Amino acid sequence: MKQDVGAGSSFLPSMGLYPQTIADLGLDPSAGEYHIQIRRQDGQPMHIPRGTTVQVQGDTVTPVSSTTSKATLYNPLMHANVVAERIDQGVDYAGTGYLVAVANGVVTASVANGSGWEGEGYVEYRVTQDCFLQGAYIYYAEGVDTVVSVGEQVKGGSRLCNLRSPMPHGIEIGFAAGVGEESYYAYHDGPYQENNEVTRPGLAFSNLVHALGGPAGKQEGPVVGNFPEYMPDGEPPANIRQGAGGGLGTTNLPNVSAATLASAYNWPGDYYSAIVQIQRGADNGSHHSHAAAAYAAGITYVPMAG
């Protein structure tokens, strides 16, 4: 919907509209450029220093750095072939492959066997990357074999554990408390009652996985608890960037359009624009669809111009 933000003053910034948006609004394109002035709902000035990215919600304006607003995060299941199961303290899955770090962090726990999670494996890391998740603890538990050690610095997208095969208990992934092996919910709102309750920290992690291209968990019971402070409404920012391979998590590329993928995987606008640019160089519809799917899976695809 927008072309740029920052015209006008830092107190009353404005944004220019794309020609298509002008047409969609039924405005006269011959009249010149159109700009929308950005105001708070209470009418007070924004006080935004130039070059600062902000999030606006109601009367609240929160400055965030460009690094934070466009941080690259990775689908933890991008190298796993899984079936989504229920949401409880975290999200349950069953399948094969391995799990990667969502973001840069440091390993805070690594248990090969005998954890409090079905007596199996457990790995936990704290996010250190400059993003909305900074400071959050994330755990992968149950049917996992850890490949990292406590204190190890990890990069987003790096392997943390393998999925066990056979896997009698599946796996569970979610937000941890950073205290022992407790989940965020168990420490802050628990104890967990084991009656198919959908915890809000579990729901938030499911939403994060889905936003990064993975399958969301299943809600099979009542929703309880509170969302973590870093995801106060349970939803990740709409403009997070997916790391390479995070879109589909598979090399089995279906014929899909850029618009379909942008909607399904909540792509930022610049991802969608990049796909459109690739498609404009394609010479048939098949190239169009494969370009979108390949780009989502982190595979470079340059179609031949016809």
Domain boundary among 64, 85, 106: 64
Indicate the average pLDDT of the chain: 76
Indicate whether 60 and 100 sit together in one domain.
no
Query: Does residue 305 lie within any of the structural domains?
Result: no
284-297 mean pLDDT? 48
Query: Does residue 255 lie within any of the structural domains?
Result: yes
**Domains in the chain, number:** 3
Query: Does residue 241 lie within any of the structural domains?
Result: no
- Structure tokens belonging to residue 16: 């220019």
Query: Does residue 95 lie within any of the structural domains?
Result: yes
pLDDT of residue 225: 92
Beta bridge partners of 51: none
249-267 mean pLDDT? 56
Q: Taking a C-beta distance cutoff of 8 angstroms, is the pair 226, 190 a contact?
A: no
Omega cis (within 30) before 215: no
Say whether pLDDT at 69 is over 60.
Answer: no
Assessment of whether the complete model's pTM goes beyond 0.85:
no
Say whether pLDDT at 182 is over 90.
Answer: yes
Angle at 302 between CA 296 and CA 304, to 5 degrees: 140
Task: Classify burial at 37, counting beta carbons within 10 Å of its beta carbon; exposed 0-12, middle 13-18, buried 19 or more.
Answer: exposed
- Structure tokens belonging to residue 8: 């006008």
pLDDT of residue 5: 46
Query: Does residue 288 lie within any of the structural domains?
Result: yes
pLDDT of residue 140: 98
Indicate whether 18 and 113 sit together in one domain.
no
Side-chain-side CA neighbours of residue 130 (13 Å): 7
Indicate whether 42 and 79 sit together in one domain.
no
Indicate whether 195 and 125 sit together in one domain.
yes
Domain boundary among 19, 47, 64: 64
Indicate whether 215 and 92 sit together in one domain.
yes
Indicate whether 212 and 92 sit together in one domain.
yes
pLDDT of residue 150: 96
CATH number at residue 144: 2.70.70.10
Indicate whether 83 and 197 sit together in one domain.
yes
Say whether pLDDT at 106 is over 90.
Answer: yes
Say whether pLDDT at 253 is over 70.
Answer: no
The rounded distance, in Å, linking the Cα atoms of 216 and 265 is: 11
Indicate whether 77 and 197 sit together in one domain.
yes
- Residue 254 pLDDT level (bands cut at 50, 70, 90): very low
Task: Classify burial at 39, counting beta carbons within 10 Å of its beta carbon; exposed 0-12, middle 13-18, buried 19 or more.
Answer: middle
Q: Which domain holds residue 197?
A: 72-224
Please give the residue that has the higher pLDDT: either 56 or 27: 27
Indicate whether 42 and 119 sit together in one domain.
no
Q: Taking a C-beta distance cutoff of 8 angstroms, is the pair 42, 61 a contact?
A: no
Please give the residue that has the higher pLDDT: either 250 or 220: 220
Indicate whether 34 and 121 sit together in one domain.
no
Indicate whether 76 and 220 sit together in one domain.
yes
Say whether pLDDT at 215 is over 50.
Answer: yes
Domain boundary among 224, 242, 272: 224
Query: Does residue 242 lie within any of the structural domains?
Result: no
Indicate whether 26 and 80 sit together in one domain.
no
